[in-house]
A and B are shown apart, each in its own frame.
Chain A
Amino acid sequence: MELNSRIPSGPIERLWDETRFNMKLVNPANKRRHSLIVVGSGLAGASAAATLGELGYNVKCFCFQDSPRRAHSIAAQGGINAAKNYQNDGDSIYRLFYDTVKGGDFRAREANVYRLAQISVSIIDQCVAQGVPFAREYGGTLTNRSFGGAQVSRTFYARGQTGQQLLLGAYQALERQVQAGSVAMYPRTEMLDLIVIDGRARGIVTRNLVTGEIDTHLGDAVILGTGGYGNVFYLSTNAKGSNVTASWRAHKRGALFANPCFTQIHPTCIPVSGDYQSKLTLMSESLRNDGRIWVPKQKGDTRPPDRIPESERDYYLERRYPSFGNLVPRDVASRNAKYACDEGRGVGETGLGVYLDFADSIRRLGRKTIEERYGNLFDMYERITGEDPYAVPMRIYPAIHYTMGGLWVDYHLMSSIPGLFVIGEANFSDHGANRLGASALMQGLSDGYFIVPYTVGDYLASNKLEKISESQSEVGNAVALVEQMTQKLLAIDGKRTVDSFHRQLGKIVWDYCGMSRTAGGLRLAIEQIRELREEFWNNLRVPGSAADFNQSLEKAGRVADFFELAELMCVDALERNESCGGHFREEYQTAEGEAQRDDDNYSYVAAWEYRGYGSPEELVKELLEFQYVHPSQRSYK
């Protein structure tokens, strides 16, 4: 397959304007005649559905949760970047663009990132107008903070609940269109297949999660805003329901999946406390501003932290990275925590944790200042662990947090299946091999409010879409496939629960395709994944029936897809013989132990084409060109 990324040529700052000018428009009176399907109601999905509804299209929006307001975008804490330069500190669209390309370790498309930086300013305006209560200065203007290693203050925030407030803004815009009759909302409805007719995405097959009914919905274009696949690791900071099913089933219908091995680990999460652990809770990275990270120098030192004298502590980040210290980027901080624990110097009952100690800051600044800065985070930590972080150092450990990979899309955010658009975390487009803090919210809203509403229109106006009907064989075949799979899952009637398989799968992926990877480990992982998948299909027990509110059945379908994705992640990680961003191959590191990119051989997007169950996927490369930001080695020494 040939990939055409449809990146226009010319000066980068003119590309999006010219693209928009060259787009064909849909006559306002005709918009109502086009039915569009939006799957997912997070920042990307809700903003797209609302905006397309406002434009006059006939929109159907689907989510598996009981309400569109629950999508996992809601859990984002930190903030949203925008190149407003309100702080007059030298920020600009070009600087945000530069930081994002560099932060992504030179594995993102320049044209996409530049557009994202341009649009960032409109997002803030839109959200303010919707009534998002961003933090303000006493004079009434918007306030900013710096975030994620940026040297300018460009992050807008609403307390520690920025994602929630932005999502509620998009949700309210969506509900306004529901009231207006332009959007029909389908909560508790899961997409289980994509309907492709004459090579174009024309609809979806869904299951009503309350009644179990299988339905089809046809339209002129399908837009997926179904989020990332971090839950392949079982333990992640994602919501329990977050899954790859919509993306994966589209992949099996022909949409290429790009850079699946690019996953991001967040260094400051609350460690696992036992086998029953169901998810990991993230704490804002801002804690590293005043906390010092350390482990005992001695292996297996089980003394309580206050009994370990200063001389027997290893502040390993300060030791290895004297200039950045505890503030090194996410991937570096995470990897070093893993090394400390691998050496047997981890703390806590499981040995999978490192201390984040505020004692020095409390002595220096006073308890009150620390309380003002981090009070809510300290409360949350205490609520979960039962330990008082003012008295005892916090224990933290890295966790999977975001996935940069996703369905491949061109500059118009259209996948390799015409008529299938992919937005937000579900696509691969803007973050390269590593995402900067406060950029996920920006990308979701940029795609949903300001990009896909135009590009979908261009697609509809430039292509003659045949009339289709429910009676076509493609529709019936897709439904039959979904029903077969449901029956198959229920019929196994083995001994093990879905969660037990998911947990085991997650452990394999975490051990071999997590924070650091080796060729040998990845090969082993692929074998183990295949074996476990075999067992899954022979020894799974799903109680209940298909015509029921059946949470085990929902999970079973999602885990089945995670099995296939997990293998592809390992294949992708094995194929990429370099280290970059979130992908760290132990074989490829500098003498100082830093990631070693190989720009001569791996400066491309790895897009994978599905070739049938059990057959190896085929790699299609999209070469990346850097005309503006020249690849350089990251250094935080």
Chain B
Amino acid sequence: MRLKLKIWRQQSRSAAGKFVSYPMDDANPDMSMLECLDVLNERLIEAGEDPVAFEHDCREGICGSCGFMINGVAHGPLPATTVCQLTLRHFKEGQELVLEPWRARAFPLIKDLVVDRRSFDRIISSGGYVSVSTGSAPDGNAILVSKESADRAMDAAACIGCGACVAACPNASAALFTGAKIAHLGILPQGKPERDVRALRMVAQMNAEGFGGCTNIGECTGVCPKEIPLEVIAAMNRDYIRGSWRERDNLVTTIRPFTEWSTGSKLKVDRATE
């Protein structure tokens, strides 16, 4: 099949970027979007040009490495599918596909379609865990967890951290990502002791990273390859408010979440590569 790829090319963060068009006259409908880029890159290299940089690893939709906008939609048109599993048969003959990187202040660009998502790691690092050191665990069946809770926790835990939610959000908010971890751990009895502090810290870090606020638009869940439900954001907000009240004497700086000036000073944001 014939396709026209219009791809964002940018050598580095400081360089100027632009769209470049590449005709793909012999694409195979069974190819994945990434395999189509592989074929293009082979040709570019043979022609002495710089191949298109894009992120990928497992190519089976679970590692969360890949992702870019296709015609303005994060991961393209197919629901619950990352670009590595998106086959070309879902496009029309002769269609133009515009490929752009995730665009968000908290995801600085590295090259072409590759962005830096370390802000997600820092959000997890700020409190997205249960503080249990190796060796100190009770027997696995010592604490019962209802099937319903385990299933709901799993729904939230399925997040692959790809960043599509941020890219799709007009505010570039990371509420779905952050909420997914807060919900996953908050639902389980193992995560309850730190539930308040976790929500406070993670939300504060999210804000400090420069992600926008959530205004309940729902684009995030619409593009999410793992269909993380919007209710995780409600869970985050509830835990945040509850935690703000219960921890009011301890964490003064974080009880004013939605304004940037109140959060930055005590939080570490590593922007070494900027």
Knowing A139-B144, A140-B146, the reply to whether A278 touches B65 (Cβ < 8 A) is no
Tell me the dominant secondary structure on chain B's binding face. loop
Q: Is the CB of A128 within 8 A of B140?
A: yes
Knowing A68-B121, A171-B124, the reply to whether A274 touches B147 (Cβ < 8 A) is no
Query: Does B273 lie at the interface of the complex (its beta carbon under 8 Å from any beta carbon of A)?
Result: yes
Q: Is the CB of B190 within 8 A of A239?
A: no
Contact with B along A573-599 (1 / 0, CB 8 A): 000000000000000000000000000
**Cα–Cα, bound, A118→B218 (Å):** 47
Interface range, A side: 35 or more
CB neighbors of A among B21-76 (8 A): 28-32, 34-36, 38-39, 42, 44-46, 48-51, 53, 55-60, 62-65
Knowing A133-B184, A136-B147, A549-B114, the reply to whether A278 touches B38 (Cβ < 8 A) is yes
Q: Is the CB of A67 within 8 A of B50?
A: no
**Cα–Cα, bound, A415→B32 (Å):** 40
CB neighbors of A among B204-263 (8 A): none
CB neighbors of A among B155-212 (8 A): 157-158, 160-161, 184-185, 188, 190-191
Q: Is the CB of A385 within 8 A of B58?
A: no
**Cα–Cα, bound, A138→B151 (Å):** 11
Q: Is the CB of A75 within 8 A of B154?
A: no
Residue of A with least CB distance to B134: A51
**Cα–Cα, bound, A473→B144 (Å):** 58
Q: Which of B59, B124, B135, B190 is in CB contact (< 8 Å) with A175?
A: B124
Query: Does B14 lie at the interface of the complex (its beta carbon under 8 Å from any beta carbon of A)?
Result: no
Knowing A70-B63, A175-B128, A239-B58, the reply to whether A543 touches B45 (Cβ < 8 A) is yes
Query: Does B16 lie at the interface of the complex (its beta carbon under 8 Å from any beta carbon of A)?
Result: no
Query: Does A134 lie at the interface of the complex (its beta carbon under 8 Å from any beta carbon of B)?
Result: yes
| Chain A residues near B117 (CB-CB < 8 A) | 66-67
Residue among A66, A74, A84, A176 with most chain B CB within 10 A: A66
Query: Does B130 lie at the interface of the complex (its beta carbon under 8 Å from any beta carbon of A)?
Result: yes
Q: Is the CB of A210 within 8 A of B157?
A: no
Q: Is the CB of A175 within 8 A of B121?
A: yes
| Chain A residues near B81 (CB-CB < 8 A) | 383
Complex interface: stretch among A157-165, A291-299, A360-368? A157-165
Q: Is the CB of B85 within 8 A of A131?
A: no
| Chain A residues near B139 (CB-CB < 8 A) | 125
Q: Is the CB of A281 within 8 A of B150?
A: no
| Chain A residues near B91 (CB-CB < 8 A) | none
Q: Which of A50, A126, A185, A279 is in CB contact (< 8 Å) with B137?
A: A126
| Chain B residues near A136 (CB-CB < 8 A) | 145-147, 149-150
**Cα–Cα, bound, A624→B70 (Å):** 56
For residue B270, give the distance in angstroms from its CB to the closest CB of chain A.
Answer: 10
Residue of B with least CB distance to A126: B137
| Chain B residues near A137 (CB-CB < 8 A) | 147
| Chain B residues near A66 (CB-CB < 8 A) | 55, 65, 116-118
How many B residues have CB within 8 A of the partner chain? 81
| Chain A residues near B160 (CB-CB < 8 A) | 164
| Chain A residues near B188 (CB-CB < 8 A) | 131, 133
Q: Is the CB of A500 within 8 A of B42?
A: yes
Query: Does B111 lie at the interface of the complex (its beta carbon under 8 Å from any beta carbon of A)?
Result: yes
Knowing A74-B63, A84-B140, the reply to whether A131 touches B185 (Cβ < 8 A) is yes
**Cα–Cα, bound, A133→B186 (Å):** 12
Q: Is the CB of B51 within 8 A of A552?
A: yes
Q: Which of A69, A124, A549 is in CB contact (< 8 Å) with B111?
A: A549
| Chain B residues near A47 (CB-CB < 8 A) | 134
| Chain B residues near A616 (CB-CB < 8 A) | none
Q: Is the CB of B89 within 8 A of A386?
A: yes
Q: Which of B46, B87, B114, B161 is in CB contact (< 8 Å) with A69?
A: B161
Contact with A along B110-130 (1 / 0, CB 8 A): 110010111011001111111
| Chain B residues near A131 (CB-CB < 8 A) | 129-130, 153, 184-185, 188, 190-191
Q: Is the CB of A125 within 8 A of B131?
A: no
**Cα–Cα, bound, A449→B136 (Å):** 12
Q: Is the CB of A141 within 8 A of B141?
A: yes
Q: Is the CB of A133 within 8 A of B49?
A: no
Query: Does B265 lie at the interface of the complex (its beta carbon under 8 Å from any beta carbon of A)?
Result: no
Residue among B34, B135, B136, B161 with most chain A CB within 10 A: B135
Query: Does A3 lie at the interface of the complex (its beta carbon under 8 Å from any beta carbon of B)?
Result: no
| Chain B residues near A477 (CB-CB < 8 A) | none
For residue B139, give the distance in angstroms from its CB to the closest CB of chain A.
Answer: 6
CB neighbors of B among A108-157 (8 A): 122, 124-131, 133-142
Residue of A with least CB distance to B141: A141
Query: Does A178 lie at the interface of the complex (its beta carbon under 8 Å from any beta carbon of B)?
Result: yes
| Chain A residues near B158 (CB-CB < 8 A) | 159, 161, 164
Q: Which of B39, B126, B128, B147 is in CB contact (< 8 Å) with A276?
A: B39
Q: Is the CB of A75 within 8 A of B63?
A: yes
Query: Does A431 lie at the interface of the complex (its beta carbon under 8 Å from any beta carbon of B)?
Result: no
For residue A617, give the distance in angstroms from its CB to the closest CB of chain B.
Answer: 31
Residue among B12, B57, B59 with most chain A CB within 10 A: B57
| Chain A residues near B127 (CB-CB < 8 A) | 179
**Cα–Cα, bound, A168→B180 (Å):** 13
Query: Does A241 lie at the interface of the complex (its beta carbon under 8 Å from any beta carbon of B)?
Result: yes
6 sample A-B contacts, Cβ–Cβ < 8 Å, listed by A number: A68-B121, A69-B124, A74-B63, A133-B150, A136-B145, A159-B158
New contact pairs (19) apart from A130-B190, A240-B59, CB-CB < 8 Å: A67-B117, A75-B63, A126-B132, A129-B136, A131-B130, A131-B184, A136-B145, A137-B147, A175-B128, A176-B131, A187-B121, A273-B30, A274-B30, A281-B60, A383-B81, A384-B87, A497-B42, A497-B46, A549-B111
